[in-house]
Structure 1
Amino acid sequence: MYAIVAFPLVDFALRHAPGPLHLLGVVWDKVLLLVMVILACSRYIRGYRPQWFQWNRFAGWFILLGLGVTFAGMASLAVSVAGFKMDVYYMLFAFLIPFLVDREDVPKLLHAGAMLAILISIHGIYQYVTKAPVPRGWTDVGETVRSRVYSVLQSPNELGSYMALMTPLLAGLALYETDKWRKVIYAVGVPLCGLTMLLTFTRASWIALGIAVFIMAVLFERRLLIALVVFVAVLYFLPPIHHRISDLLSPVYWLKSSQSGRIFRWITAFDKMGSNPLFGIGTGRFGGAIASQSYGAIYSDNYYAKILAEMGLVGLTLFLTMHLALIRELFTKAIRGASGKVRYVFIGGTTGLIAMLIHNSMENVFEFAPNALAYFTYATLLLIWGVGKKSDNASVDADATTYDGGQV
């Protein structure tokens, strides 16, 4: 589980390592998943039955639909399978995590994830200070940016999304933590991660986090509106960031977007779906890395548009329902069922998850392995902590399994 939480760093290190270690970087997550399957089967055989969550049902239906759409495209089965894997692979980890993690384990894993996020943020700030090179495709025509940081996530857009996920979770941990030093570290980590997100110059992550904070402020914690006002003020008064926002509001930007940018890509996805509205044109055919490599197709720059084109209205409905069920369960059972300062962790974590979902409407965030795995991992950990059943020292070796003090 620590390897999963540290996935961005471990995956980057292994994939960029020399010699045999580089080969390990290609397969290590598959080996890890296999080990998790073996451990989960072992616990199941010995009588352990984890808590299942409502969103798992919709995820299962989405996976079954994906299988059907995949094998309907027999003419290019290899591409269809690769596209299907891209959509569902990291969900599989979420199905296995409840077998391996008990409620008392969750805080330790969240602490590890928080420390990793702080280290990545420090590296991102270092890149900005040292003027890391910016590829031409990362800036608009006529725009001058000192640098766009990316750290081990290798893309400003993906790093921005990761920081939008982790910054509010860190804030929640800072409010929850009782250990003096950890509390200070997390309190310092919040502005570090927030600054790194700004230095990615990824407008979509800023907008996504702002909307997510507003939603959570209205529903659960009005004091978050203060944080939102501060965030907006920073965006307005820092000249480079203000310039990026101003570009977004200009008529020229929207004209270019409709001709060859995001709006054009979204309309193209809708047109692709039109040939088979219910089930789409097949996995791996449009809008993502697999389609780009196989057919030279454009990116959709909207993960939901990609799902719509490839799996139709039925696929998009199941995909959205899955995520809405997950967020609803966090709302109704984790946040509203929590008492004390742990509630801040659930509010912060859920804010980050909503931000990543919103960001997916402007980027293909879930196509990037570290972010897809981070989303499903932290969502599952929060549900286990807030909703999951208690265990007695995670013991399953006895003849009976213990739930909430009673024997079954």
Structure 2
Amino acid sequence: MKEENNSLLNKSKSSEWDEGIFIVLMAMIILIPINFYPYCVPVFAPIKDFSFQILAFFALTLWMLKIISLNRLDRKISSLDKPVFLYLLIGCLSLIWSINLYHSILALPSFLAGPVLYFVIPRSIKNRKVINRLLFIIVIVGIIMGAYGILQYLGIDFEFWRGNVGRSQVMGLFGNVNYFAEYIILPLMLSLGLFFSKEKIFHRFFLLIALIIMGTTLLLTFTRGSYLAVGITIPVILFLYHKSATGESQKKYYKKLIVYFLLLVMIASALIFIPHPFNKENMPLGKLKNRVSLTALTSGDSGDSVLRRIATWKFTWMMIEDRFILGSGLGTYSYHSLKYQADFFSQGQNRDIYPHGYAMQAHNEYLQIWSELGIIGLFCFIWILFVYYRTILIHFRKMKEKDKALTIGLAGGVTVVLLDAVFGFPLQLAASLSLFWIFMGLTGAQINLANAAEKENKAQVQRKVDMGNRIITKLPMAIMIRKIILSLLVVLMMAGVITLFIRPFVARIYWYHGNRQRSYNEKIQMYEKGLQWNPWLGELYYNIATILSNNGLNTPALEYYIKAAKYVDQHYLPQNIAKIYLQKDSLEEAIPYLEKAIVYQPSRQDVVPLYISLGKTFLSLKQNQKAEQSFLSAISIDPGDVNAHYGLAGAYLSQGKTELGKESLQKVIDLDPNSKVAGYAGVLLKKYELEDTRSEDLVD
């Protein structure tokens, strides 16, 4: 009798903790897509990342407190546990060999938060009604965000967002139209997966409204990668339904749906590409045509976007080749992106073929995982995906129809993210990343529930460790004290962890307030306060250095620029450091930064003044051949630059190449006879002509 009472009491306690975890998950689903903080740099991403990290680890805290409270650890062994744990482990271990430990540490919380959700959810969600409630909330939030996106397209928005134009105005509360699209595809595919079911999960009219609103919003984002991901995911969902069908009538039903889908694709293509009054350029269908047509993909801004993506993939592969096995470390992609881009553009005609940019992400999650975690990390991630789909297919035949529908809807959300990840980076965005792992966790919970009866009849894969029974001589008071101590330790540990999460976010708030100050001293004070919260925020060092440099304080400015280079890489950072070294007459120190600045420049025209500065520096150091090459490089880009020709003349004359030097001086005069440089060239040219005349007289 006592054992039964204890069992009932434990179930009651367990349900209370599980209800708390449900509330945390609900808060995550609602808050991450919606929240933003306008007094932060940038406005959208930091608060979403912070919310994701805090809520994920709060859920972990509740789960750990539940274990302590029940005196029992339920180790539910799932086939997914091992690959997820190994993936998590390789990410943590990568800090050991990371090329920038600071970036890796800052990236670690978001990386851990996803797998934490995966492990917590199946061990806490033990009721179909809870799963249904969570899925309902996901769809509702998707509808709200979709409706808001439609209003944005119509020009109805908050006053402070109205500066956005074109497709960028449909950004939801994400600050970027692509980020919005990469979020909306998850609840959209979940709704579609449930809508296709013959069983009633939610009211079909409700799901139809959700599909219309979110589908319309996705179309209005004009995001090609997300279109492609959705277009491939739909037949995958139908395939899963067909695979799960138990009778011929069900299989025929889903075969018909596949045919209808193909017909719909043909009709949609005709509406988009065949000219008619409703697909003119200024209309939605016309804009859609301009985004997805072959002409659009190979010319104009869209063509540049495609070429830019190809360039990013190519120099990402260069990163992979350098660190094939272990990668460069978690979160380090953005730190050395410019370096590899510079190496890529220095090869052949790449600078002329591909547009320049700054790739914070690889725009391909698989390449980015490979570059950061090596082939081992990529293998673990692909292992997760293989086991995920294999587990679903194995358990289909044991599920009821409603369980199948829920599982396929969740799998649809996971699939669309994985396909979108080929051209984007949804797993770097808190809203998409959180839903991805929630879907993975809920799939595990759904499979656990669907197979609970069978698991009870088989050899248990669940091992229960009864911590209270290990030392049976302990008094109840001793057990209670132990629980209190362990609970306090967990709470204190999580409070410390959460405090660490807060620090980077607060630093970005000070960054915002620093930007708003008018006085240089007040700006610097705010930036310094931000650095007290996050001493690894390189952008703040850069901002302080720029202010000091503009006010002629070169020595402290140089110190801050050097600190900035430790944590961040920017296009103009090497150039600014080189400029200060030149002003301090530290020529040897300036040369490597000038050389780096040249390959970092966004356009070829920006390179010319830097080549000239490099050439002058070599001349001052009597390295005349290197000076000659620098000036020739400048002239090859801009043959009409008189300063480059004048510098080349100096390099020739310093090497005794008098005739070549005189030709370069004459070129300066011919190019711009009224310039000061032409005046200097004329004086020098007369001097050498006079010396030639004297030499001839002496010979005579």
- Contact kept in structure 2, 1:209 and 1:355, CA below 8 Å: yes
Residue in structure 2 matching 1:77, options 87, 94, 101: 101
TM-score by length of structure 2 reads 0.49
CA 1:24/1:263 → structure 2, altered by over 3 Å: closer, same or farther?
closer
CA deviation after TM superposition for structure 1 residue 251, in Å? 3.6
Q: Which residue of 1 aligns with 2:255?
A: 222
Residue from 433, 451, 454 that aligns with 1:372:
433
Separation in structure 2 between the aligned mates of residue 7 and residue 228 of structure 1, nearest angstrom: 36
Paired residue secondary structure (2:74): coil
| SS across alignment from 2:398 | coil
3-state SS of the aligned residue for 1:222? Answer: helix
Instruction: Please identify, of 335-344 and 195-204, the stretch whose mean Cα deviation from structure 2 is larger.
Output: 335-344
The one-letter code sitting in structure 2 at the alignment partner of 1:92 is V
For 1:106, the aligned partner's letter is I
8 Å Cα contact 1:389/1:404 also seen in 2: no
Counterpart pick for 2:375 among 305, 313, 333: 313
Contact 2:407–2:446 (CA<8 Å) still a contact in 1?
Answer: no
CA distance in 2, matches of 1:300, 1:331: 32
Deviations 1:88-130 (A, max 9, x none): 4322122112232113221111112111111111111111122
Match of 2:119 among 95, 103, 113: 95
Which one-letter code corresponds to 2:114 in the other structure? Answer: Y
**Structure 1 residue 363, shift from structure 2 partner:** 0.4
Alpha-carbon separation, structure 2, partners of 1:165 and 1:248:
30
For residues 254-308 of structure 1, what are the alpha-carbon distances to aligned partners after superposition, in whole Å with 9 as ceiling and x for unaligned? 974675x11111111111111121111222221x5x7679996543111111111
Greater displacement, 247-256 / 363-372 = 247-256
Give the match for residue 264 of structure 1: 311
Aligned length: 383
> d(CA) in 2 for partners of 1:130 and 1:258?
28
CA change 1:85–1:229 in 2 (3 A) is: farther
Alignment of 1:182-201 (within 5 A): 182-201=203-222
1:39 aligns with 2:70: no
Letter in 1 for 2:102: A
Structure 2 residue 365 is the aligned partner of structure 1 residue 303: yes
Deviations 1:161-215 (A, max 9, x none): 22222223213434467588x4322221111111111111111111011112223
Partner amino acid, structure 1, of 2:330: T
Aligned to 2:626: none
Match of 2:392 in 1: 330
Secondary structure at 2:101's aligned position in 1? helix
The answer (yes or no) to whether the contact 1:266–1:305 under 8 Å persists in 2 is yes
Partner Cα separation in structure 2 for residue 25 and residue 348 of structure 1: 25
**How far 1:346 moved relative to its partner?**
2.4
Which residue of structure 2 lines up, in the alignment, with residue 61 of structure 1?
A: 86
C-alpha separation in 2, matches of 1:360 and 1:108 = 28
Aligned partners of 2:320 and 2:374 also within 8 Å: yes
| Residue of structure 1 equivalent to 2:559 | none
CA separation of 1:366/1:386 partners in 2, compared to 1, >3 Å: closer, same or farther?
Answer: same
Q: Which amino acid aligns with 2:268?
A: V
Pick from 279, 283, 289: which aligns with 1:242? 289
Following superposition, the deviation at residue 48 of structure 1 comes to 5.3
CA shift digits 1:144-169 (9 cap, x unpaired): x4665221233322222222222232
Per-residue deviation, 1:372: 0.2
> Which structure 2 residue ranges, 5 or more long, are not aligned?
1-21, 243-253, 272-284, 341-357, 465-700
Deviation at 1:29, TM superposition (A): 4.1
**1:206 pairs with 2:242:** no
Give the Å deviation of 1:8.
5.7
SS at match of 1:383: helix
Map 1:341-352 onto structure 2 (within 5 A). 341-352=402-413
Change beyond 3 A, Cα 1:131–1:218: same
Q: Which runs of 5+ in 1 are unaligned?
A: 137-144, 393-402
1:127 and 2:160 correspond: no
What secondary structure is seen at the aligned counterpart in 1 of 2:234?
A: helix
- Aligned runs of 1:157-196 on 2, under 5 Å? 157-174=178-195, 175=197, 178=200, 182-196=203-217
Inter-CA distance 190–13: structure 2 relative to 1 (3 Å threshold): closer
Listed as ranges, the matches of 1:368-407 within 5 Å are 368-388=429-449, 404=456
Question: Which has the higher Rg, Structure 1 or Structure 2?
Answer: 2
1:232 Cα deviation from its structure 2 partner: 5.7
Q: In 2 relative to 1, CA 129–251 (structure 1 residues): closer, same or farther, beyond 3 Å?
A: closer
Query: In 1, Cα distance between the equivalents of 2:297 and 2:39?
Result: 46
Is the CA contact (8 Å cut-off) linking 1:167 and 1:194 kept in structure 2?
A: yes
Distance across 2 between alignment mates of 1:248 and 1:43: 59
Q: Which runs of 4+ in 1 moved over 6 A?
A: 22-26, 290-296, 389-392, 405-408
Q: 1:377 to 1:25 in 2, by over 3 A?
A: closer
Deviation at 1:27, TM superposition (A): 4.9
Change (3 A) 1:207 1:382: same
Measure the CA separation in 2 of the matches of 1:167 and 1:12: 14
State the secondary structure of the residue aligned to 1:153. Answer: coil
Task: Tell me if structure 2 keeps the 8 A contact 1:6–1:113.
Answer: no
How much does 1:361 deviate?
0.9
Distance 1:40 1:294 in 2: 43
Counterpart-to-counterpart distance in 1, 2:332 and 2:432: 22
Instruction: Classify 1:28/1:357 alpha carbon distance in 2 versus 1 (closer, same or farther; 3 Å).
Output: closer
Contact 2:115 2:437 survives alignment (8 Å): yes
Counterpart Cα distance in 1 of 2:26 and 2:337: 29
Q: Which residue of 2 aligns with 1:396?
A: none
- Give 1:270's aligned amino acid: W
Q: How far apart are the structure 2 equivalents of 1:301 and 1:331? A: 30
Deviations 1:200-253 (A, max 9, x none): 111111101111222333452434422354256335523222221105774447
The letter for the 2-side match of 1:38 is T
